[in-house]
């Protein structure tokens, strides 16, 4: 195997941190959007309550911040995956 293709642990950690930053930015932005009044009309037209919308927003922001806590990172990645899968399922059912 070519040794130039193998990344050092330092490079892997930096790439993981950069990816975490990007994902956290988008999930925090998405979570904050759940508190905007225009989002409420979309959620209500989909059959969900305002409380559910705000709960999803809080979970998205919590998951985004949890990406930086290495001990629990797997849990928060799983949480965010479940939110995204749920959102995709709702989109598929409503279309």
pLDDT in tens, 5-51: 677 888 888 998 999 999 999 999 999 999 998 888 888 888 889 99
- For the chain, what is the domain count? 1
Q: Is 3 contained in some domain?
A: no
* 70, 34 contact by CB (below 8 A): no
Domain-embedded: residue 31: yes
Residue 1 placed within a domain: no
**What Å distances lie between residue 44 and 37, 41, 49, 62, CA to CA?**
11, 5, 6, 23
The reported pTM is: 0.83
Q: Rounded to whole angstroms, how far apart are CA atoms 15 and 17?
A: 5
Report pLDDT for 84.
96
Q: Does residue 2 belong to any structural domain of this protein?
A: no
Domain interval for residue 54: 8-94
């Amino acid at each position: 195997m070519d040794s130039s293709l193998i990344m050092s642990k330092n490079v892997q950690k930096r790439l993981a941190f950069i990816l975490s930053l990007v994902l956290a930015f988008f999930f925090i932005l998405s979570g904050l959007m759940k508190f905007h009044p225009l989002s409420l009309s979309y959620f209500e037209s989909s059959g969900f309550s305002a409380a559910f919308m705000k709960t999803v927003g809080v979970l998205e922001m919590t998951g985004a911040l949890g990406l930086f806590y290495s001990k629990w990172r797997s849990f928060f990645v799983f949480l965010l995956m479940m939110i995204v899968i749920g959102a995709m399922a709702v989109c598929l059912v409503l279309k």
